[in-house]
Amino acid sequence: MAQATTQPLLRELNRLRSLILDPDVLVKAVASGRQKGEVPTWRRAELRYVDLKAGTHLQITTYDQTQAFTENHAVGDASRDAVDALLDEPFGDWHVDTATQSHGLKVTKKLEAIVHTTDRAAPVEVARGHDKPKERLLPENDPVFLVLGISDDEGRIKPSRQSKYRQVEEFLRLLDSSIIEAIDKGHLRRPTLEEPLRIVDLGCGNAYLTFAAERYLTGVRKLPVRLTGVDVKEQSREHNSSVAAELGVDAEFVVGTIGGVSLDPAPEVVLALHACDTATDEALAQAVGWGAQLVLAAPCCHHDIAAQIRKAPTPSPYAMLTRHGILRERLADTLTDGLRASLMRLQGYRVDVVQFVESQHTPRNTMLRAVRTGGPVKGGSVRKEYDELVAAWGIHPKLAELLDA
Ligand SMILES: C[S@@+](CC[C@H](N)C(=O)[O-])C[C@H]1O[C@@H](n2cnc3c(N)ncnc32)[C@H](O)[C@@H]1O
């Protein structure tokens, strides 16, 4: 039986609260959406109970734009506090499944609750999952990992290569969500077998990410892609061509510099992961020149701006930020990537700067994600901020120089 009625919001949230806090009743709860004019801390939250060695816990998985974060809260005060914190967030929708019913709550503009309750045809068992390992996009035993020497003959990731595997997985998650979103929003065409998506990996090195992307997108996602890897090293081309042959992957590897390579037809997606120093600027400038629809660039070291701010007088009152070497380096990283993001915005890209891999795995964990939206470039305030910042610090970003040229 289904009924939809408008009810006072607080009363209804309280009703859901008691369902969520009962481990014998809750199957799963999901919070999502947003209330008018408000932005919750999380894009989505999922709640369910899990039986751990330490007893039953409420497992809450929260999602921001790029990542999922899972926490387990012991039943009692800890789970109550965690649930109350989520109920305080301005989510626009709650969905609570219990053993016998399904409850939907939608918050109206007037901050009332439209409640919709459905009885289950038959009660379901409240199955408590265990602490399941994170689902992998490419399993450990995928041939790509064996051929690249990341897994052993039995298809298990070698202990010494765990961080590379995690990096590949995190990268695939970002690539996947960025491509799917760009296709859904019409910023990127949906590829076909006849016309695969043209992706280039600039500064591909041993091309772990190129091969993993090919395997995942073409093999798992059924989004045909044709990958090209570019690296200045001949050894990289030789190694990668033989890996491609072994895997039966149709990919091309070119020896050349990122700034100098010419590709025809132009790539639609540009990847540049940890290309050294200003090679990231070369990659971004090439992406702009090619009119690439999607760019994912994880910068590496940032020597150029660091050297410039060492030489130029520090604008007042920022001397305390440049006095210590380590802080000066971090400031240079931030300045470099902030200026890159602004310059890409001025070129008609929507840009966000996201965390690529968790910071305990590598300090090089920032990624610039740029999507060419085709909308008009509203650059007035971005340009002004950019001009003021470079003038104040007396710096000349490499990307600006390349784009001007
Ligand atoms: C740190 S490695 C990263 C490799 C790979 N992208 C990854 O994330 O595993 C940087 C690679 O970029 C290449 N590289 C650096 N500057 C380059 C340039 N200007 N043109 C072409 N390749 C470049 C280097 O040869 C090296 O293989």
Q: How far is CA 267 from the centre of its chain?
A: 21
Position in ligand 1 atom list of the atom nearest CA 282 = 19
- Quick one: pLDDT at residue 363? 55
What whole-number distance in Å separates Cα of residue 70 and Cα of residue 45? 10
Q: How far apart are CA 357 and CA 247, in angstroms?
A: 26
Mutate to test the pocket of ligand 1, among 199, 232, 361 (most ligand atoms within 8 A of CB): 232
For 30, the 3-state DSSP assignment is strand
266: left (phi over 0), alpha (psi -120 to 50) or beta: beta
CA of 272 to the centre of ligand 1 (A): 8
Rounded Cα distance between 125 and 100, Å, is 9
Residue 140: predicted pLDDT = 86
In the chain, the N- to C-terminal Cα span, in Å, equals: 67
Fold of 143-404: Rossmann fold (3.40.50)
State the burial class of residue 18 (Cβ atoms within 10 Å of its Cβ: 0-12, 13-18, 19+). exposed
Residue 397 in contact with ligand 1 by CB distance below 6 A: no
Structural element, H or E, at residue 297: strand 294-298
Instruction: Return the pLDDT at 1.
Output: 46
Confirm if 39 and 57 have CB atoms less than 8 A apart. Answer: no
Which atom from ligand 1 is nearest to the alpha carbon of 231? 22
pLDDT at 141: 87
Name the β-bridge partners of 2.
118
Q: Is 275 in the pocket of ligand 1 (CB under 6 A)?
A: yes
Listed residue (237, 267, 268) closest to 254, CA to CA: 237
CA dist., res. 375 & res. 297, Å (int): 22
- Separation of CA 234 and ligand 1 centre (Å): 12
Q: Which two tokens stand for residue 395?
A: 């710096």
Is the minimum distance from the CB of 279 to ligand 1 under 6 angstroms? yes
Tallying the residues shown for the chain, one arrives at: 405
pLDDT in tens, 280-290: 999 999 999 99
Task: Please give the distance, rounded to the nearest whole angstrom, from the Cα atom of residue 209 to the centre of ligand 1.
Answer: 12
Minimal CA–CA distance to 119: which of 27, 25, 8, 3?
3
Residues 6+ away with beta carbon under 8 Å from 369: 174, 178, 294, 295, 296, 351, 352, 353, 354
Helix and strand totals (H; E) in the chain: 12, 15
Measured by CA distance, the residue closest to atom 10 of ligand 1 is: 275
- Report the C-alpha gap between 209 and 167 in whole angstroms: 9
**Cβ neighbours around 8 below 10 Å, total:** 11
Nearest to 370 by CA among 306, 298, 296: 296
Q: Is 244 in the pocket of ligand 1 (CB under 6 A)?
A: no
Query: 192: which 2 tokens?
Result: 């076909």
Question: Which two structure tokens, joined as six digits, stand for 35?
Answer: 């209330």
pLDDT at 355: 81
- Listed as ranges, residues in the chain with pLDDT below 50 are 1, 359-361
Every domain of the chain and the residues it spans: 2-119, 143-404
| 172, 258, 304, 362: residue to mutate for ligand 1 pocket, most atoms within 8 A of CB | 258
Q: Is the peptide bond before 90 cis (omega within 30 degrees of 0)?
A: no
The span from the CA of 188 to the CA of 177, in Å, is 13
Strands 68-74 and 55-63, how do they pair?
antiparallel
State the CB neighbour count (10 A cutoff) for residue 47.
22
d(CA 238, ligand 1 centre) in Å: 15
Distance (Å, rounded) from C-alpha 173 to C-alpha 171?
5
**CB-CB contact of 203 with 255 (8 Å):** no
Contact call for residues 262 and 285 (beta carbons, < 8 A): no
